[in-house]
Amino acid sequence: MRTEAVDRVDLIFTLFDADDSGQLEAGDFELMASRVAAVATDSTAAARAAILSAFRRYWATLAAELDVDGDGKVSLDEFRACVLSPERFEDTIDEFARALAVLGDPDGDGLIERPVFTALMTAIGFGRANIDALFDAFGPNDDDQITVSVWVAGIKDYYSPDASGIAGDHLVPGAK
C-alpha cells in the first residue's frame, strides 16, 4: 500500500468524522450527506436521495466489515483496512462516485461546471486551494467543465491502494 493512498484515506476519515470523536459513526455519514445534498440546489430530488443512499451504504459497508464488537463505531485503523481493500469496498465506492457525480451534473449534459464541483467538494470539507488544484488536474475544457466520467474515475482512483501521482493527491494538504 502506497503512502499516498494512506494519506488520502486519513484525510477522508478526518472529514467524515463530523463530530471530531476520533471514530466514525452512522451520524457522521448522515450529517455529511445532508451537507452535500444541501448545496446541490439544482439537482433533482432523486439525485439528492441517491447521495443520501450512497452515504448510508458507505457507513453500512464499514459497519458490516469492521464493527466486530457492535458498538457502532469505526476507528481510523479499521477504516484504512476496509477502504483500501478494493475487494471489500469497490461496489460501495462505485455507488458513491456515481451519486456524487450526478449531483455535479444537474442538467444531465455529462459535464460538471467548476462552481458546482467546488460547492460539493467544499460541503464534504476539502480546502478551496485543494479543490481548485484537483479540478485543474482533471483537465477542464475551455468552458471550465470536466466530464462526469473523469470525476467518477478520479473518485475511484482516490481509493486505490496502489495509486500514486493521481489527480486526487491534490486534495491532501501539502501533497504535490
pLDDT in tens, 16-67: 898 889 999 999 999 999 999 999 999 999 999 999 999 999 899 888 888 8
- Work out the mean pLDDT of the chain and round it to a whole number: 90
Q: How far is CA 120 from CA 7, 112, 176, in A?
A: 21, 11, 22
Q: What is the CA radius of gyration of the chain?
A: 15
What pLDDT score was predicted for residue 115? 98
Compute the Cα dihedral for 84, 55, 125, 70 and give only its sign. Answer: negative
* Confidence tier at 8 by pLDDT (50, 70, 90): confident
Distance, CA of 14 to CA of 160 (rounded, Å): 18
Q: Going from the N-terminus, what domains does the chain have, and what CATH number goes with each?
A: 3-161 (1.10.238.10)
Residue 49: all three cell numbers together: 436521495
What pLDDT score was predicted for residue 84? 64
User: Which residues is 112 bridged to in the sheet?
Assistant: 146
If we measure between CA atoms, which residue out of 27, 7, 9, 10 comes closest to residue 18? 27
What pLDDT score was predicted for residue 24? 94
